Amino acid sequence: MRFTAKRLLAAVPVLFGLSIVVFLILHLLPGDPAQAILFGRNATPEDVAKFREDLGLTDPLVTQYGNYLGNLLQGDLGTSFLYEQPVTEKIFGLIPHTLLLTIAALSFALLVGVPSGILAATYVDRPVDKIVTAIAVLGVTFPAFWLALLLTRLFALQWGLLPSLGTGSLTALVLPAVSLGWPLSSILARLLRDSLIDVYRSPYVLTARARGFGTNRILRRHALRNAFGPVVSMLGLQFGGLMAGAVAIEVIFGRPGVGAYLIESMRAKDIPAIQGVILTVAVVYLIVNLLVDLGRAILEPKVRAELQAG
Amino acid sequence: MEATDETRSKEKRLRRLLLAYPRFVKHQGLIRGLLLLLILLFVFAAIFANVVSPKDPTAIGFNVLQSPNSENWLGTDQLGRDVLSRAIHGARPSIVVAILSVVAGVTIGVPAGLIAGYTGRFAGAFIMRLVDIMLAFPGLLMALIVVTLLGPGLRSIVIAISIAMIPWFARMVYGATLSIKQKGFVDSAKTIGASPLRIIALHITPNLASQVAVLATAALGWAILISATLNFLGFGLSPPASDWGIDLQFGKEFLQQAWWLAVVPGVCISATILATNLLGDVIAGVTSRGSQTDPRNLQRQAVSSGTL
């Protein structure tokens, strides 16, 4: 419990810093933000001045940040220039789509990566191991968006097995989830393999072996739990990557989602929307990593002690 | 007879499991050979693009969307340009971006980590909080933000990717410095009156150089990937330029009629990332003291998986 509180407390300065960085995005746009935003919209100088007033850009920076933070704490991310609609509303509508895609990709990665990792570690240096390792080495060289094109060409256009666009059915989720999850499944398989091999060499596994326990029992009761530590850490590290990778996947498959919205906003220089999406993704990423730390602490007593001490 | 074979094979398997065997001793000949060939191929393509490519990569022709044939070995694109020539020229931006951004990331990230780790105290805490904040954004998002702010172009891509990389190097070096700082030889150096600068330069940096090298190699592949992603999403170079990401974007539009448009640049991206990953494995194998599942190695693996 104390550990949880400590981790939560440590996240506060980071959240605070995040809000500053995200706030500054508006001011880091080259030139005058108001002019940059209204560029190409036939704005008269009076329009620009009024717009600047509306945005509060005439106030001192600290006041502006204060207002921004105040709104933020009330869950108000501002109004989208593009849709003239509250950004918070828009993001809340889109987040379930992105989370569904990310979780589907994660599940795929675990479903494929974990069994292959175990298989490879159990039959180290056998053909199975070599095949798994080779596929895993190749797997990480396929960025999600390139794999997505390849799979679409084969499964949707060539053989017509799966839909390449839309969100209607569950089958429409297969190609996006597999493209996004494939590199992660490769890395998980390799990581679990290496981790299990390490654990298999440890004294307690030797003891278990000496006592005549079978491979299965050793795997289930002793090895897997300990070998999973690095895998869980990696999942935390990679979750942000999955959300970022969802950007390209959503664009390719024409899925609604936070990533597709981000790209649209970036093209339109819709600053409140960009700020909102980035802040949301960063906060979700932070929460996931917090959960991962807690998960590791539950999984491994050693980590619990370390984290508590540090 | 069978029973003895069974026992023997079990014994063999057990021994294989138990014996600590260095991972990279096996197949290193093959890996090294493949790796060297791939890297040479891409560097060669990048440097001599003008000489080796059969056609002008931007020359528009009447024969559009031709499948691979004797005239255009890898076919032509929607504007009749030679796909092979574009793929060869596409090596240029990728390799330039990769090298420049990793150099920039190391040049800024490593000193930041050294200062934070060695001095501790206020400056250290400040730098590391900053690193925490930067790491809260997934790398690709960080790069996207910077490119949106700076506008399109090669320079923006390099700056964007190096900014995303700085915190990795800073964090890794910070951790390494903290542990090296406690070693006896640092104390000894202090006792004989060595200045902090001297200790950092002569005693700490050499001890973390190998780790930096390993992460930097992984970062090369990541940079190529992110630059391709930015270009693919339309935030990188402007279209007449040949770049694998841009070409892949065209390939997406003509996926049904002309598969080679997507496959050629895609394979180039995969092959380059494979080459840098293999290079990273070899360097890690040569220099690594810890196991691959060591927390310090996780970051590298995450990086080389490209999804970070």
The answer to the question of residue B210 being in a domain is yes
Contacting residues for A306 by C-beta, under 8 A, at least 6 apart:
none
Reported in sequence order, the residue ranges of B256-298 that DSSP labels E, i.e. its strands, are none
The answer to the question of residue B19 being in a domain is no
Do B217 and B274 form a contact (C-beta atoms < 8 A)? no
Q: In chain A, which residue ranges form alpha helices assigned H by DSSP?
A: 2-28, 33-38, 45-55, 61-73, 87-122, 127-139, 144-151, 171-200, 203-210, 215-217, 224-253, 258-268, 271-299, 301-309
Instruction: Tell me if B137 and A240 make a contact (CB, 8 A cut-off).
Output: yes
Residue-wise pLDDT for A265-295, tens only, equals 888 878 888 899 999 999 988 888 888 888 7
User: Running DSSP on this structure, what letter comes out for residue B174?
Assistant: H
CA-based nearest distance A47→chain B, Å: 23
Count of structural domains, chain B? 1
Q: Which range scores top for mean pLDDT: A237-246, B106-115, B259-268?
A: B106-115
Length of chain A: 310
Decide if pLDDT at B303 tops 70: no
**29-58 in A: which are within 8 Å (CB) of B?**
29-30
* Per-residue confidence (pLDDT) for residue B101, from 0 to 100: 95
Q: How high is the mean pLDDT of chain A?
A: 83
* Paired strand residues for A86: A79
Length of chain B: 308
Residue-wise pLDDT for A57-83, tens only, equals 777 778 888 888 888 888 888 888 777
* Per-residue confidence (pLDDT) for residue B99, from 0 to 100: 93
Quick one: tokens of B290? 């810890």
Instruction: Tell me if A142 and B301 make a contact (CB, 8 A cut-off).
Output: no
CA-based nearest distance B230→chain A, Å: 9
Do A136 and A190 form a contact (C-beta atoms < 8 A)? yes
Q: For CA atoms B95, B100, B105, B111, give the dihedral sign.
A: positive
Decide if pLDDT at B208 tops 70: yes
The answer to the question of residue B1 being in a domain is no
Decide if pLDDT at B18 tops 50: no
Q: Could you tell me if A282 lies within 8 Å of chain B, comparing CB atoms?
A: yes
Do B265 and B87 form a contact (C-beta atoms < 8 A)? yes
User: What is the per-residue DSSP string for A56-76?
Assistant: TTTS-HHHHHHHHHHHHHTT-
Decide if pLDDT at B28 tops 70: no
Q: For CA atoms A51, A259, B151, A68, give the dihedral sign.
A: positive
Decide if pLDDT at B258 tops 90: no
Do A37 and A84 form a contact (C-beta atoms < 8 A)? no
Q: Which helix (H) or strand (E) holds B277?
A: helix B259-287
Burial B128-167 (b: 16+ CB within 10 A, else e): bebbbbbbbbbbbbbbbbbbbbbebebebbbbbbbbbbbb
User: What is the per-residue DSSP string for B201-264?
Assistant: IIIIHHHHHHHHHHHHHHHHHHHHHHHHHHHHTT-SS-TTS--HHHHHHHHHHTTTT-HHHHHH
* Paired strand residues for A306: none
Instruction: Tell me if B233 and A144 make a contact (CB, 8 A cut-off).
Output: no
What are phi and psi for residue A164, nearest 5 degrees? -100, -10
The predicted model gives B61-88 an average pLDDT of: 78
Instruction: Tell me if B252 and A30 make a contact (CB, 8 A cut-off).
Output: no
Residue whose token pair is 């990423």: A285
* Per-residue confidence (pLDDT) for residue A310, from 0 to 100: 46
The predicted model gives A238-248 an average pLDDT of: 87
Instruction: Tell me if A209 and B14 make a contact (CB, 8 A cut-off).
Output: yes
- 3-class DSSP assignment, residue A89: helix
Burial A129-158 (b: 16+ CB within 10 A, else e): beebbebbbebbbbbbbbbbbbbbbebbee
Q: If pLDDT is split at 50, 70 and 90, which confidence band does B164 have?
A: very high
The predicted model gives B287-304 an average pLDDT of: 55
Decide if pLDDT at A230 tops 60: yes
B109 versus B308: which is more confidently predicted? B109
> Which domain does B152 fall in, by range?
33-305
Residue-wise pLDDT for B103-128, tens only, equals 999 999 999 999 998 887 788 888 98
| CA pair distance A47, A34, nearest whole angstrom | 9
The answer to the question of residue B99 being in a domain is yes
Cross-chain CB nearest to B298 (options A145, A152, A230): A230
Decide if pLDDT at B306 tops 50: no
The predicted model gives A258-271 an average pLDDT of: 88
Choose, out of B293, B294, B299, B301, the residue to mutate when testing the contact with A (most A CBs < 10 Å): B293
**What predicted TM-score, i.e. pTM, was given to this entire model?**
0.84
The predicted model gives B195-220 an average pLDDT of: 86
Q: Which range has the worst mean pLDDT, A30-34, A106-110, A137-141, B210-214?
A: A30-34
Quick one: tokens of A165? 């666009």
Residue-wise pLDDT for A195-219, tens only, equals 888 888 888 888 888 888 877 777 7
The answer to the question of residue B8 being in a domain is no
CA-based nearest distance A151→chain B, Å: 11
* Per-residue confidence (pLDDT) for residue B21, from 0 to 100: 37
Q: Which of B230, B54, B36 is nearest to B147 (CA)?
A: B230
| CA pair distance B133, B145, nearest whole angstrom | 14
Residue-wise pLDDT for A139-175, tens only, equals 888 888 899 888 888 888 778 777 777 666 777 888 9
The answer to the question of residue B14 being in a domain is no
Quick one: tokens of A21? 């960085």
Q: Could you tell me if A179 lies within 8 Å of chain B, comparing CB atoms?
A: no
User: What is the per-residue DSSP string for A191-248?
Assistant: HHHHHHHHHHTSHHHHHHHHTT--HHHIIIIIIHHHHHHHHHHHHHHHHHHHHHHHHH
Burial A16-53 (b: 16+ CB within 10 A, else e): ebbbebbbebbeebeeebbeebbeeeebeeeebeebbe
* Per-residue confidence (pLDDT) for residue B19, from 0 to 100: 44
* Per-residue confidence (pLDDT) for residue B161, from 0 to 100: 95
CA-based nearest distance B194→chain A, Å: 30
* Per-residue confidence (pLDDT) for residue B20, from 0 to 100: 36
Quote the ipTM score: 0.85
User: Taking chain A, what is the end-to-end CA distance rounded to the nearest angstrom?
Assistant: 15
What are phi and psi for residue A114, nearest 5 degrees? -65, -55
Burial B182-211 (b: 16+ CB within 10 A, else e): eeeebeebeeeebeeeebbeebbbeebebb
B95 versus B26: which is more confidently predicted? B95
CA-based nearest distance B52→chain A, Å: 26
The answer to the question of residue B10 being in a domain is no
* Per-residue confidence (pLDDT) for residue A122, from 0 to 100: 86
Cross-chain CB nearest to A18 (options B136, B145, B293): B136
Q: If pLDDT is split at 50, 70 and 90, which confidence band does B25 have?
A: very low
**Biggest distance spanned by C-alpha atoms of chain A:** 85
The fraction of chain B above a pLDDT of 90, given in percent, is 18
Decide if pLDDT at A37 tops 90: no
* Per-residue confidence (pLDDT) for residue B23, from 0 to 100: 45
Domains and CATH numbers, chain A: 2-73 (no CATH), 94-267 (1.10.3720.10)
Residue-wise pLDDT for A174-192, tens only, equals 899 999 999 899 989 988 9
The answer to the question of residue B93 being in a domain is yes
Instruction: Tell me if B270 and A251 make a contact (CB, 8 A cut-off).
Output: no
Residues of A in contact with B288 (CB under 8 A): none
**71-110 in A: which are within 8 Å (CB) of B?**
none
Decide if pLDDT at B195 tops 60: yes
The predicted model gives A85-91 an average pLDDT of: 88
Do A14 and B130 form a contact (C-beta atoms < 8 A)? no
Do B228 and B245 form a contact (C-beta atoms < 8 A)? yes
Task: Indicate which CATH number applies to the domain containing B176.
Answer: 1.10.3720.10
Do B214 and B280 form a contact (C-beta atoms < 8 A)? yes
